[in-house]
Amino acid sequence: MDIIVLKPKTTAKELRHIINKLQSRGFEANVSKGTERTVIGVIGDTSKITEDESNAFTSMPGVEKVHRIIQPYKLASREFKPQNTTIRIGKHTIGGKKLHVMAGPCAVEGMSVLVNIARDVKKAGATFIRGGAFKPRTSPYTFQGLGEEGLKILAEAREQTGMPVVTEIMDPRDMDVLLKYADVVQIGARNMQNFRLLSEVGSHNKPILLKRGLSATIKELLMAAEYIMAQGNNKVILCERGIRTFETAMRNTLDLSAVPLLKKLSHLPVLVDPSHAVGQWDLVAPMAKAAIAAGADALMIEVHSKPEEALSDGEQSLKPHKFKTLMKELKTVARAVGRTI
Ligand code: PEP
Ligand code: MN
């Protein structure tokens, strides 16, 4: 038993009674009020619930039926919530008909560089500014990010352009400072299974961009989303950013089939990051178009005014004028699949 579907006219008292009973058995209740009916997601190890106990819940006043979810992810599953989740961020909605493009440099390098890039990508049609202040670098000797200084610069770019800020968290100890400056908190691929970090971001209500781990399966990605949602934060955007395969010609292999599969298994919005998938700027545009055709709700694209001087990921960053051309081309693809951009 994982989901309790309530009758359309269940009273608040009956709901309270069901929740109390769940809590007395050591479970938490995640109440989701839909337009037609309310469902309760049962949080905890539901495999311990016997058939008899499950039947006892079925006969409680206000309960229409109890439902077992076969997948190990529950709150993230479409079975739990059939309708698409939309996430409101400022004046934007992710997961609706309108597609969103989050663009900006890999790392925040300085005030004027970032603000200029932000202006350029906004003019081209991007709706979010991205940039890392805490960078997960393979080598400890390379640029690690500007830390809080970088976040302040992002906040200034938001001030000047109106674009919400997307930036990565690497350490639960930075949560307070991230909450101060970020509009969307990114969990990077390397931290997709950092369970303490997932629980931390789950206990606040900031939207989360959850990147697929370098070698993570779809199930593992959805279980990571479940960690966040189990703490009460349902604002999770799933991100396909390429996975490790035997192929070394590209930085990673963009698993585009993950997009329709995630949309089938989950109600959460799906974003594709072609930049980190391909690792070379000239392959970004075709994969960005393909991602929209595959059903992505949003894209994340790295843009730098001087890629050759970028402190990280310059080789995969588009120059602003190339980004502008791409945005124009994306409009046509979006229209072809019934979306706008
Ligand atoms: C990034 O967005 O710059 C980044 C580090 O991404 P990923 O975690 O997907 O490698
Ligand atoms: Mn990067």
pLDDT tens sequence across 3-28: 999 998 889 999 999 999 999 989 99
Closest residue to atom 10 of ligand 1, CA basis: 189
- For residue 304 and ligand 1, the question of a CB distance below 6 A is answered with no
For residue 190, which atom of ligand 1 is closest to its CA? 8
Which domain range does residue 320 map to? Answer: 87-336
- For residue 105 and ligand 1, the question of a CB distance below 6 A is answered with no
**Whether residue 107 is found in the same domain as residue 63:** no
**Whether residue 152 is found in the same domain as residue 13:** no
Its pTM surpasses 0.85: yes
- For residue 241 and ligand 1, the question of a CB distance below 6 A is answered with yes
Measured in Å, residue 337 CA sits from the centre of ligand 1 at 28
Q: What is the number of domains present in the chain?
A: 2
Collapse the DSSP code of 125 into the 3-class scheme (helix H, G, I; strand E, B; otherwise coil) and give the result. Answer: coil
In a domain, 341, yes or no: no
Collect all residues with Cβ–Cβ distance below 8 Å to 308 and sequence separation of at least 6. 314
- Mean pLDDT, to the nearest integer, of 237-251? 98
Task: Give the integer Cα–Cα distance in Å for 75 and 30.
Answer: 8
- Mean pLDDT, to the nearest integer, of 31-35? 84
For residue 300, which atom of ligand 1 is closest to its CA? 2
Closest residue to atom 6 of ligand 1, CA basis: 188
pLDDT for res 34: 79
**Whether residue 33 is found in the same domain as residue 91:** no
Checking if the pLDDT of 1 tops 80, the result is no
In a domain, 25, yes or no: yes
User: DSSP for 71-83?
Assistant: SS--TTBTTT--S
- Mean pLDDT, to the nearest integer, of 147-163? 98
**Whether residue 192 is found in the same domain as residue 59:** no
Q: What is the CATH number of the domain that holds 174?
A: 3.20.20.70
Share of the chain above pLDDT 70, in %: 100
Measured in Å, residue 251 CA sits from the centre of ligand 1 at 12
**Whether residue 57 is found in the same domain as residue 94:** no
Checking if the pLDDT of 37 tops 90, the result is no
User: Can you tell me which residue has the tokens 């610069």?
Assistant: 153
Task: Give the integer Cα–Cα distance in Å for 164 and 186.
Answer: 13
Task: Give the integer Cα–Cα distance in Å for 90 and 7.
Answer: 34
